[in-house]
Amino acid sequence: MNILLTGGLGYIGSHTAVELLNAGHDVLVIDNLCNSSIDVKDRIEEITDKQIQFIETDIRIKEDIDNVFANNKIDAVIHFAGLKAVGESVQNPLYYYENNIAGTINLLQVMQKYNVKNLVFSSSATVYGTCQEMPLSEDSPTGAVNPYGRTKLFIEEMLKDLYTSDPSFNIIILRYFNPVGAHDSGIIGENPRGIPNNLMPYIARVSVGILDELSIYGDDYDTKDGTGVRDYIHVVDLACGHVASIDKLSENCGLAIYNLGTGTGYSVLEVVNEFNKVCGGKVKYKIAPRRDGDIAEYYASPKKANDELHWQAKKDLHSMCESTYNYQIKELNKNK
């Protein structure tokens, strides 16, 4: 199939492009490069030995998006493009609503105009809100607690309304848990600008001496060792979940929501200890106060995705840490 990836040079999009190309699909990427770089195109091509088409544009520019659909044969869209920093969304909510929601409305209107009605949307476990029974299933109550999370929830609601009005759409909403890790080649991975907010990229920078020490936010949660527990999923497993979703769309699946997680929760200390096995104990840490807005523990039930997408996460915590370290070392050496 010919698949358009919005935000396809970003962290999850680039790994998905690789898996789609490996599965024999053709890939067209649009990205405004606000959180990625053009080199990623070459790296995807180097890994796969295949070409992708790239157009630098912004989903908020409707004429440009219209031109992309007018000039290319597109069978399905995977919509990654979006801003994702929770803190920034609290500081600048209108930027998030404009980019994520207005951008998505443009995209959907153009898809409808050109009769392209197969969509996979990047949602997040953040839509589940707080105080839930674990594991989280797709039927667990939703309730986002920050502007970023609300953009995901509002888009999910918009997609349900769109599908009700036009059932010729096939829409898969994927709720990602905590994506981490990098491609085995070590040439694509997660490289956030500035100081990372998320655990794994922070640990990675401590492991190579770019940052001094990790602050573990709280060791007094009601969890196995007092530190926060999350369902970390290897980005390559996540990427394969998108290939499985593309297969599902061709069965005329209607609208479906799937959790993409492993079903296993790891604590911050477990992640640090595993990473230290990989890097030779270089991750120093201290215990710091809890971070505002964090919850103690959440992890997925991936059963619905296992059953209906015939997909299962295969990579373990060791592989998540090892691939992250490998990528971090390569990035460091490249910049020397």
Binders of ligand NAD in range 14-73 (CB under 6 A): 31-36, 58-60
Nearest distance from residue 124's CB to ligand UFG, in Å? 4
Q: Is 148 a catalytic residue?
A: yes
Q: Are strands 118-124 and 170-176 parallel, antiparallel or unpaired?
A: parallel
Which listed option, ligand UFG, ligand NAD, none, makes contact with residue 291 (CB within 5 to 8 Å by class)? ligand UFG
What distance in Å separates the CA atoms of residue 56 and residue 83, rounded to the nearest whole number?
Answer: 17
Which residue among 11, 96, 148, 163 is the active-site one?
Answer: 148
Which listed option, ligand UFG, ligand NAD, none, makes contact with residue 294 (CB within 5 to 8 Å by class)? ligand UFG
Site map for ligand UFG, 241-280, x if CB under 6 A? ---------------------------x------------
If one asks whether residue 91 binds ligand UFG (CB under 6 A), the answer comes out as: no
DSSP 114-157: TT--EEEEEEEGGGG-SS-PSSB-TTSPP---SHHHHHHHHHHH
Nearest distance from residue 209's CB to ligand NAD, in Å? 24
CA distances to 37, 161, 289, 321 from 180, rounded to whole Å, are 19, 32, 24, 8
Looking up tokens 């015939």 gives: 310
User: Beta partners for 233?
Assistant: 179
CA distances to 14, 157, 317 from 89, rounded to whole Å, are 24, 19, 29
Q: Which of 240, 242, 223 is nearest to 231 (CA)?
A: 223
Residues in the chain, total: 336
Using the minimum distance from each CB to ligand UFG, give the nearer residue, 157 or 294.
294
Q: Which of 132, 12, 138 is nearest to 84 (CA)?
A: 12
Which listed option, ligand UFG, ligand NAD, none, makes contact with residue 224 (CB within 5 to 8 Å by class)? none
Question: How many chain residues are in contact with ligand UFG, going by CB under 6 A?
Answer: 21
Residue 186 zone, left/alpha/beta (φ > 0; ψ -120 to 50; rest): left
Backbone angles phi, psi at 138, to 5 degrees: -60, -20
Using the minimum distance from each CB to ligand UFG, give the nearer residue, 202 or 311.
202
Binders of ligand NAD in range 191-250 (CB under 6 A): none
Site map for ligand UFG, 167-206, x if CB under 6 A? ---------xxx------------------xxx--x----
Residues within the interface to ligand UFG (CB under 6 A): 84, 86, 124-126, 176-178, 197-199, 202, 214-217, 228, 230, 268, 291, 294
Residues within the interface to ligand NAD (CB under 6 A): 6-7, 9-13, 31-36, 58-60, 80-84, 99, 103, 122, 124, 176, 179
